[in-house]
Amino acid sequence: MPFVDATLRAEIDALAPELTTIRRDLHRHPELGFEEHRTGAVVRAWLERHGYTPRSCASTGVIADLHPGHPGKTIALRADLDCLPMPETTDLPYRSIHEGRAHKCGHDGHTAVLLGVAAILDRYRDRLPGNVRLLFQPAEEGVDGGGAKRMVAEGALDGVDEVYALHNWPGHPRGHIRVKPGPMLAQTHWLGITVHGVGGHGSQPQLCRDPIVAAAHIVVALQTVVARGLGYDGGAVVSVCRFSSGTTDNVVPATAELEGTVRTFAPEITELVLARIREVVHGTAAALGVRAELELEPGYPVVMNDPTCAHAVHRVATQVVGSGAVSDAGLPIAGGEDFAYMAQAVPGAFFFLGAGAPGRDTPGCHHPDFDFDDTIIPTGVAMFMGLVADRFGI
C-alpha cells in the first residue's frame, strides 16, 4: 500500500466530494449523545457498502474491523458522533433542522473523515498485514460520563494495540498538525457553589447576609487560585461560568449559585488547586458571615499521549503536510476529551488538525457560528491512512 503518495492522495481527493455531502447531511441532522440513531444508520450503511460488518457498542456507537479475528496487530481509529445542545446561528443551506441542537464542535467532520478512511482501507484490504478497528463513538460531549468510557468497558479496545484520534481546531492554521507526547488535554472538574445567606428587603441590607456580595467576593478570590497559587507556567484553569441569584429588584435573596470548571494537567497540580479552592470558598464565606456549599465533581481524565504513538503522528504528519506545518505550539490545551479513557486503556495519541482560515478570525469549537471546514477532510483521511501504514511498517 502506498504511504500517502500521489496515487493515494488522488484517491482521497476523488472521494472528498462525497464525504463533504455526507458531512453536511450529518450537520443538518444533529443528534445528542446516546441519541445518534440516524447518524449511526448512516455510518452502518456506508460500512456495509464497503465490505464491513458493523456492530453496536455503547448503545448508539458503531464498531467495524477490517480483518475480524486477525491474529496480528490491531490499530484502532476513533471518531465521535454527537452534537452539542446549543443553537445554530448560521445561514448555511445545511444548517441544523433541530432547534437547540447543532454540530458546533465538528464531530460531523470527524465522522466523515473516518468514513473516508473506511472506504480507502477497503481498497487495500488484501495488502494489510494486520487489523484496523474503526470506532464511531457516541456521547463525547459529557453525557453520562462520556461514550468512550462505555466503549472501553464494553470491550471496544479488546485486542487493540494502539488507538488514535484527531480533532479539528480553528485556533491552529488550516491543515497544520499539532501533537506532543504526554498531556494533550486537561483533566476536568465541575465546580458548583451554593452560598446561603439571609434574605430581606433591599432597602435594609444591614439586616441581611447578602449572598450576592459574598458570591461576588468568592468569584474574585477564586482568580487567585492560579494567579497566586501556582508558578509562572500555571498548569491549571479555574473559571466561574454561571452566577445566578435573586428574583426581583428590591429583595435581597437568601441564596446565590455559582457554577464553573477546573482544568488541570498533573495529579499534584490537581490536588493543590482543589485544596486551595476549598480554602478560598469556605474562608471567604466565613469572613462575610454566610455559608457556602462546595461541590467538586471529577470529569474526564487528562488525555495523555503515549510517546511512541505521538512520535508516529509527528512522523506521518511531516510527510502529509510538511515539516513546517507540524509542531507542538499551543499545547497542551485546557479542553477536556473522553478519548482519555481510551488512551488509558491502550497506548494512543490524540492530535489536532488545524482549521483556521488564513486572514480570518475563524469561529472556534462550541461557537454558535462554527462550521467544520470541509477542505481539511482529505488531510484527516491522509493522516489516518499514513498512521495505518506507519504502524504496520508498510
- Give the model confidence (pLDDT) of 94-149 as tens digits: 999 999 999 999 999 999 999 999 999 999 999 899 999 999 999 999 878 899 99
Domain with 68 in it: what CATH number? 3.40.630.10
Which of residues 270, 298, 326 is at a domain's end? 298
Over range 215-243, report the average pLDDT.
93
Q: Are both 278 and 353 inside the same structural domain?
A: no
Model confidence at 362: pLDDT above 80: yes
Which residue range(s) make up the domain with 282?
187-298
Domain with 291 in it: what CATH number? 3.30.70.360
Q: Are 196 and 171 in contact (CB under 8 A)?
A: no
Provide CB contacts within 8 A for 310, sequence distance 6+: 179, 180, 181, 182, 349, 351
Query: Does residue 37 lie within any of the structural domains?
Result: yes
Q: Are 126 and 319 in contact (CB under 8 A)?
A: no
Structure confidence at residue 143 (pLDDT): 79
Structure confidence at residue 142 (pLDDT): 81
Q: Strand 200-201 relative to strand 182-185: parallel, antiparallel, unpaired? A: unpaired
246-302 pLDDT, tens per residue?
999 999 999 999 999 999 999 999 999 999 999 999 999 999 999 999 999 999 999
310-330 pLDDT, tens per residue?
999 999 999 999 999 999 999
Model confidence at 2: pLDDT above 60: no
Model confidence at 394: pLDDT above 90: no
Structure confidence at residue 119 (pLDDT): 98
Query: Does residue 1 lie within any of the structural domains?
Result: no
As a whole number of angstroms, the distance between CA 112 and CA 19 comes to 6
Query: Does residue 378 lie within any of the structural domains?
Result: yes
Q: Are both 119 and 143 inside the same structural domain?
A: yes
Q: Is the peptide bond before 332 cis (omega within 30 degrees of 0)?
A: yes
Band (pLDDT 50/70/90 cuts) for residue 3 is low
What share of the chain has pLDDT > 90, as a percent?
93
DSSP letters for 93-142: TT--SSTT-B--SSHHHHHHHHHHHHHHHHHTGGG-SSEEEEEEE---SS
Which sign, positive or negative, has the C-alpha torsion 205, 206, 212, 216?
Answer: positive
As a whole number of angstroms, the distance between CA 251 and CA 199 comes to 7
Model confidence at 232: pLDDT above 80: no
Q: Are both 275 and 327 inside the same structural domain?
A: no
Q: Strand 326-327 relative to strand 177-178: parallel, antiparallel, unpaired? A: parallel
